[in-house]
Structure 1
Amino acid sequence: MSQIKERISLLLKRKWVKWLLIFGGSVIAFFSIIYISVFLGLFGKLPTTEDISSIKQDEATQVLDTNGKLIGKYYIYDRQPLEFEDFPKHLTDALIATEDARFYEHDGIDNVSLIRVFLKNIILQDKSAGGGSTITLQLAKNLYGRKKHVMSSMLINKFKESIIAKRIEEIYSKKEIVTLYLNTVPFSDNTYGIESASRKFFNKSASTLSYSEAATLVGTLKATSFYNPRLHLKKSQIRRNVVFQQMLKYDYITQELADSLTKQDVTLNYKSFNHDLGLAPYFRAEVKKQLSTILDTLKRADGERYDLYRDGLVVHTTLDSTMQVLAEESMKEHLKSLQITHEKSFGKSAPWKTNKRVIEAAIKTLSRYKSYKKEGFTDKQILDSLSKKRPMELFEWSGDTIQNISVIDSLKHHLKFLNTGMLSIEPTTGAIKAYIGGIDYRYFKYDHVSQSERQVGSTFKPLVYTAAIENGMKPCTYFSLAEVTYTNFDDWTPSNSGSEEEDPHLNYNLEKALSNSINTIAVKVLNEVGIDKVIDQAHKMGITKELPNQPSLALGVAEINLKELTGVYASYVNQSKHVKPYAITKIEDKDGNIIATFKPEVAKDKAYSDFTRQTLLEIMQSTVNSGTASRIRTTYGLKNAIAGKTGTTQNNKDGWFAAITPKLVTVTWVGNDNHSIGFNSTAIGQGANSALPIFAKFYQKMNGDSRFNEITKSSFENPSQEVIDALDCNPEKRDGFFKRLFGGKNPKKKFKGN
């Protein structure tokens, strides 16, 4: 013993030993001071055990369709929580085998792993030794983040995380720690939590992840960008196989299973919940807009208002996601083809290329132009700036492209595109089943369902005829096709579409006049019943805006919102009562408590009689069977119970089709966002050609899906005998000899208003 003491004494007398001890002591003292400072909160307050016990993480608001399927989310951090029981065992096995093999043996800090890292990584420079971080340490970082400090940021943050990790382990069980970790850990593409990642990359709940899918997601945790399976599928697959080897190493799977799994390819079913992408983006934007107003009226238990982006709300909607998919497919198929025809019809004289007035007016609507103008720049300076070329992404039906162009070039490019709006509702409730606000939300944010008001053309005529029959006009009343000049309205002479001159002595009854959309007769009917009565009838049917008090109202010069028009048409299969289309049925908090419910808004009183309703429904079935919408039968072969009305506005600016079926009412509009640009011909722009095909293709697809049999195989109500008798007459008749001889061709009349 004395010899050992002497040797130690001699060793301590050596200078290098003294300096080594002083250095070692200083290092220990430095680390101790830093640790104590961190512990005491000198580098920022540490969460207490009470804080950790009541961990609250921001959670995404989920938007569900009518069948409970996730269709979108609103979030700052894309996160959805699950319980431990929801995780498949192979998921948690993969996590522990890869990220923290000694998870069940340590108390938050794995000293064995730290020693291994020190020896291999620092001394032997073996980079494969890992970082020694545990799941609990990672959880501490995920929950509370890291801050920058003037000095030793990494060291301070590591000490903070170790203290927090110890406290987490004291409060939570290992299962609870795994649950917290998987619900908060960041995955690729700015996605937080395993459930959100699973739905994004594989379009399924985490509870149904396969071995391969679970291992793929766990593998990305090492480097979420480098191993992002969407961007680097091969790298991700190699990393997934490393996860399988780790699971084999720690006896979570057999060699046979590991070999089998390694041979499988990684197959993604990627579904982005980016608001500009994915299913029904215009619908989700409208729901978000409505929620912002609704949540202002609601308060949480603590008295605070709900936060759309953080409180994990669940919003149940009326949308049928399967129907929405079919609607979007139909729209894209038709508009892609129609766009080609539209561009070819103009040739080199396309207004988006050659019409300076249209282009200059469009430039002045740009936000960048307005901003420059506000700053005092001249038009020449602004145009010079807007003419500078740079790489820009452009929408194309064949696939988006990036070209080196100017802002003005981009404007001209996007000016040419036809746009659309389509809404399908349940007529008895107004529940929205399919909603298309435009052709692509990324490039065209304007919503043609909820925001737009366009001239409705001949889709207004049924309202005129409804008013006429409701006020006693017989369906077998005949009107001449002859043009009439209305002297008290600037000698306005409405005419019918088509180049051929019509027989002025031919008369149509109301059924043939409406089903063939005869303009001259529509105005005569309006004149006969009285414009005030027509306006009053329109308001009873759900039109809220002020309508123009002029005879051209019969031809649809009024600009009406598509959503409102759809609610009006629903009245023909809803006991003469209009509805207000609605999207949200209920809202739940994150714990499943219902905080708001919404009921259908159906008019209390009938807007017109059963006789009128059945008569108009019969007439609009004739429109489909033999009138302007007959291509529903001839071109698309639809045999379903369908009534409807086409519509085309002046100068072919707007094409419409309103389709009525017993259990679904759909209104579709097609046109250009710029009111100065219309179709080049009626043949292309008429509602039967521009708007009707979207509905027709949509219904064809629904016919092919048995899930929609209740809708597609439904029948209209049988008309009463009174209606059958009232419609029992020849659709047309000619004037007698003396009337033909003395009747005149184009009489001038004053318009009669009531």
Structure 2
Amino acid sequence: MAKVRTKNKKETATQDFSKYIRWFWILFSVGILSLVLLFLLASWGVFGEMPDHTVLENPKTNLATEIISSDGKTLGKFYFDDNRTPVDYGELPKHLVDALIATEDARFEEHSGIDARGTIRAVLTLGSGGGASTISQQLAKKLFHGEGSKNTVERILQKAKEWIIAIRLERQYTKEEIVAQYFNIYDFLNNADGIRSASRIYFGKEPKELGLKESAMLVGMFKNSSYFNPRVRPDETLKRRNVVLAQMAKYGYIDEAVKDSLQQTDLDLNYSPESHREGIATYFREYLKTFMKDWIKKNPKPDGSKWNLYNDGLKVYTTIDSRMQQYAEDAVQQHMPRLQAEFFNQNTPKRNPTAPFLELTPGAIDTLMRRSMRQGERWRILKKAGMSEKEIEASFHKPVKMTVFEWKDGKPSEIDTIMKPIDSMRYYKSFLRTGMMSMEPQTGHVKAWVGGINYRHFQYDMVSQGKRQVGSTFKPFVYATAIDQLHLSPCYELPDTPFCIDKGKYGNPEEWCPKNEGDKYGGIRTLKDALANSVNTVTARLMDKVGPQTVVDLARKLGVESEILPVPAIALGTAELSVYEMVGAYATFANKGVYTKPVLVTAIEDKNGTVLYQFKPETRDVLSDESAYVTVKLLEGVTQYGSGARLRGKGRDAYRADYREIITGYPYEFTNPIAGKTGTTQNQSDGWFMGMVPNLVTGVWVGAEERSVHFKTITYGQGAAMALPIWGVYMKNCYADETLNISKEDFEAPLELSINVDCSKASDKNSIDNSSDDLPDDLEF
């Protein structure tokens, strides 16, 4: 009986074990089948839409529009959320790729999207030994379904989709393309979307210029860019960078000595933010935005839809030279804080109770401020919010926290303060502003564009938007008309005596009797001498001979679109024009009488490099090459012995000895031919300088927002002190950069020159009777 009982126990044990084995294989098979079914269902889109073949070929990512200078530098970008400009694998340094693989996916080259060993390790260690996501899986997550859910079931489903997409990506792309996409898709924070933006923003470099430790820092941010943010947590970011370096040493990409050496170094950030209000050529970029929006309206995509300026990854090739743009901005930054310091010195409340305004009564100032209040952004926003005008006006007199602009140590800066909005308006009106544009006369290519002193706080563009009285810089239009119509020589002589144009002539509402500066007159002057010294009476005599309408017609042909009333007073610069118009007009003289419309954009491409737009030059003949050349020779006199002579070195001694260099930039010591003209308007409200060399024309304006804000005397308020120094500093820097090839040669004379331009060889035909107040009868127009 005992033996039977023992046999039954063994049989029972064997049967029980077999049952367990059977259930194991059943469960295992069910698990495998379930896993296969899970992947099949996921691939069929049961758990959510899966990207098809075409989507995988062109994954949807927002790409910023890139603005590229004529010398191949990125000036800025247009974007809403994603400041992303993709780069190819060939633009990534090897150590950047090595750092990524060593840290994120050591077996990247061995697997086909899923790392089986890593997955098993992650399961067995429950994730404590590290995750198992490959670079391909992480790319799939970023491209197609974002971050995982906290729900376990959803997390499993998302992981299944992620694996399938990763395998498809591996089939669709090469390993190199996957790495490039991964670097391009990642958000490194601080508007650094993708590796190109990240390398530029954090280190001021293109990706291919990154050093080993810089690459390690950026790769370290892949773990969690919000936490390992070098601007917020530099110490933690440094530790993470050192982990990446250790991983590179572990897998043999660098040796221990290099690792130990680099781990002792700082992050060495060169933070260069890329935003719409910061960086280089901010005013130009804002103007370009308007250009692009107009182009988009007229040029749809092949399928009829509109291009998106912020997401479609367009490339806009501009004429701006990044070097010249920087020199222009540097010149403004060098001169304006010093000029502003003197303005503040002269306009203290003690010296000027109505500061910063001059010649205005308190009542007139109140009216001006109320008008400005209603025109401002604050008024518009509050009005839209439903506040009454009385409530809005009251809000301007309540102190609020704000950040305001200041010049500090000769550089733009900001102050956090508490101020009434009405006081901040008055404060900002006390600042002098500037507009500057530089252009190649032969091609029309605009090389530099500075619309103000600081775009963040002064957004009104004084190159294209601002129009101010041009003063004596308009006189060359009168002289050019006389030369073209009457064939005059720079050596013709006219009386510098009081002169009037009768009431009613040319529609003149009353008798016009212009006076010279200081009511001074000088007998007989040649046209060259008269223009060099900006003599009003001689200009008025020429205007009387050619007529205002003829001068206006010439200005129109020179590209001036602003309204100009055909009255004699325009001879002295009463017309209000923009820097953009003035530079285009003056460039015609340097371009042998041919007007070339200023060019800003040479080409536009889509993200694939397909050319969508190429500019076509717009030109027209305005003057004969002889008339243009004679006008240029007249303008050379301005810088030889006129108001622009300070460009040659020593200047007048009308300035404080300790301030002369600050205002005029002495010594410039230019020795090459320069044609130019200064301009100063009534009460010194506007200062201008237009300067030309054979292959570059540059115009500069300086003034305040309100014409009642100006220097009290002409000592500092003239164009030669306000605007000319910016031109001088700019040109000094341009000449110092020999790669720019800015001309120092003579202006090219026409092959046939019938008008004498050398007044040392003037004959009787080049002069008039000194006793006459008028031109000879045979020159009447």
Report the TM-score range of the alignment, normalised by the length of the smaller protein.
0.7 to 0.9
Query: Residue in 2 aligned with 1:502?
Result: 520
2: CA distance, partners of 1:544 / 1:510 = 28
Residue 443 (structure 1) shift: 1.6
2:89 aligned with 1:92? no
Query: Residue in 1 aligned with 2:369?
Result: 359
Residue 320 (structure 1) shift: 1.0
Describe how 1:205-604 pairs up with structure 2 within 5 A: 205-348=206-349, 349-352=353-356, 355-373=365-383, 377-398=387-408, 399-472=413-486, 473-475=488-490, 476-482=492-498, 484=500, 486-488=502-504, 489-498=509-518, 501-503=519-521, 506-603=523-620
| SS of equivalent residue, structure 1 residue 397 | strand
| SS of equivalent residue, structure 1 residue 400 | strand
Q: Is the 8 A contact 1:481 1:508 kept in 2?
A: no
Q: Is the 8 A contact 2:468 2:578 kept in 1?
A: yes
| SS of equivalent residue, structure 1 residue 221 | helix
Q: Is the 8 A contact 2:444 2:598 kept in 1?
A: yes
Moved more, 86-95 or 643-652: 86-95
Moved more, 520-529 or 295-304: 295-304
| SS of equivalent residue, structure 1 residue 532 | helix
2:677 aligned with 1:623? no
Residue 375 (structure 1) shift: 6.2
Cα 1:233–1:291, aligned 2, differ >3 Å: closer, same or farther?
Answer: same
| SS of equivalent residue, structure 2 residue 77 | strand
Query: Residue in 2 aligned with 1:75?
Result: 79
2: CA distance, partners of 1:232 / 1:692 = 47
> Deviation digits for residues 548-595 of structure 1, max 9, x if unmatched?
122211111111122121111011111111221111111223333322
Describe how 1:722-733 pairs up with structure 2 within 5 A: 722-724=755-757, 728=761
Describe how 1:13-92 pairs up with structure 2 within 5 A: 41=45, 43-76=47-80, 77-92=82-97
RMSD (Å), alpha carbons: 3.6
Residue 365 (structure 1) shift: 1.1
Residue 660 (structure 1) shift: 1.0
2: CA distance, partners of 1:176 / 1:534 = 62
Moved more, 559-568 or 672-681: 672-681
Q: Which amino acid aligns with 1:477?
A: E
2: CA distance, partners of 1:454 / 1:321 = 28
> Deviation digits for residues 425-447 of structure 1, max 9, x if unmatched?
00111111111111111122221
Residue 421 (structure 1) shift: 0.9
1: CA distance, partners of 2:59 / 2:770 = 85
> Deviation digits for residues 131-151 of structure 1, max 9, x if unmatched?
433212210121024379896
2:691 aligned with 1:662? no
Query: Residue in 1 aligned with 2:663?
Result: none
Q: Which amino acid aligns with 2:684?
A: N
Q: Is the 8 A contact 1:429 1:602 kept in 2?
A: no
Unaligned stretches of 5+ in structure 1? 13-17, 748-752
Q: Is the 8 A contact 1:507 1:734 kept in 2?
A: no
Aligned residues: 723
2: CA distance, partners of 1:198 / 1:371 = 37
2: CA distance, partners of 1:413 / 1:43 = 61
1: CA distance, partners of 2:726 / 2:692 = 14
2: CA distance, partners of 1:415 / 1:4 = 99
2: CA distance, partners of 1:53 / 1:102 = 25
Residue 486 (structure 1) shift: 4.8
Q: Is the 8 A contact 1:188 1:220 kept in 2?
A: no
| SS of equivalent residue, structure 2 residue 441 | coil
1: CA distance, partners of 2:370 / 2:537 = 37
Q: Is the 8 A contact 2:39 2:164 kept in 1?
A: no
Unaligned stretches of 5+ in structure 2? 1-9, 651-665, 775-779
1: CA distance, partners of 2:12 / 2:115 = 39
Residue 376 (structure 1) shift: 6.2
Query: Residue in 1 aligned with 2:737?
Result: 705
| SS of equivalent residue, structure 1 residue 191 | coil
Query: Residue in 1 aligned with 2:748?
Result: 717
Cα 1:619–1:156, aligned 2, differ >3 Å: closer, same or farther?
Answer: same
- Percent identical: 37
1: CA distance, partners of 2:49 / 2:71 = 46
Q: Which amino acid aligns with 2:610?
A: N
2:156 aligned with 1:141? no
Residue 341 (structure 1) shift: 1.1
Residue 231 (structure 1) shift: 4.5
| SS of equivalent residue, structure 2 residue 478 | helix
Q: Is the 8 A contact 2:60 2:143 kept in 1?
A: no
1: CA distance, partners of 2:147 / 2:711 = 59
2: CA distance, partners of 1:51 / 1:234 = 41
Q: Is the 8 A contact 2:470 2:575 kept in 1?
A: yes
Q: Is the 8 A contact 2:398 2:421 kept in 1?
A: yes
| SS of equivalent residue, structure 2 residue 607 | coil
Moved more, 388-397 or 644-653: 388-397
Q: Is the 8 A contact 1:508 1:732 kept in 2?
A: no
Cα 1:509–1:270, aligned 2, differ >3 Å: closer, same or farther?
Answer: same
Residue 423 (structure 1) shift: 0.6
> Deviation digits for residues 490-539 of structure 1, max 9, x if unmatched?
444422223xx424x72322111111111232222211222222222222
Residue 707 (structure 1) shift: 1.7
Q: Is the 8 A contact 2:489 2:630 kept in 1?
A: no
Q: Is the 8 A contact 1:352 1:359 kept in 2?
A: no
Q: Which amino acid aligns with 2:96?
A: L
Q: Is the 8 A contact 1:506 1:734 kept in 2?
A: no
> Deviation digits for residues 618-652 of structure 1, max 9, x if unmatched?
22111111111111113322222211001111222
Q: Is the 8 A contact 1:657 1:667 kept in 2?
A: yes
Query: Residue in 1 aligned with 2:192?
Result: 191
| SS of equivalent residue, structure 1 residue 544 | coil
Query: Residue in 2 aligned with 1:750?
Result: none
1: CA distance, partners of 2:107 / 2:624 = 77
> Deviation digits for residues 671-707 of structure 1, max 9, x if unmatched?
1123443333322221111111100011111222222
Q: Is the 8 A contact 1:702 1:712 kept in 2?
A: no
Describe how 1:108-187 pairs up with structure 2 within 5 A: 108-117=113-122, 120=125, 129-146=129-146, 154-187=155-188
Residue 466 (structure 1) shift: 1.1
Cα 1:478–1:173, aligned 2, differ >3 Å: closer, same or farther?
Answer: closer
Residue 90 (structure 1) shift: 1.6
Q: Which amino acid aligns with 2:669?
A: G
Query: Residue in 2 aligned with 1:686?
Result: 718
| SS of equivalent residue, structure 2 residue 71 | coil
> Deviation digits for residues 599-618 of structure 1, max 9, x if unmatched?
32221x2x233333232212
TM-score normalised by L of structure 1? 0.87
Q: Which amino acid aligns with 2:520?
A: E
Q: Which amino acid aligns with 2:258?
A: L
2: CA distance, partners of 1:328 / 1:210 = 29
Moved more, 58-67 or 692-701: 58-67
Cα 1:600–1:268, aligned 2, differ >3 Å: closer, same or farther?
Answer: farther
| SS of equivalent residue, structure 1 residue 73 | strand
| SS of equivalent residue, structure 2 residue 98 | helix
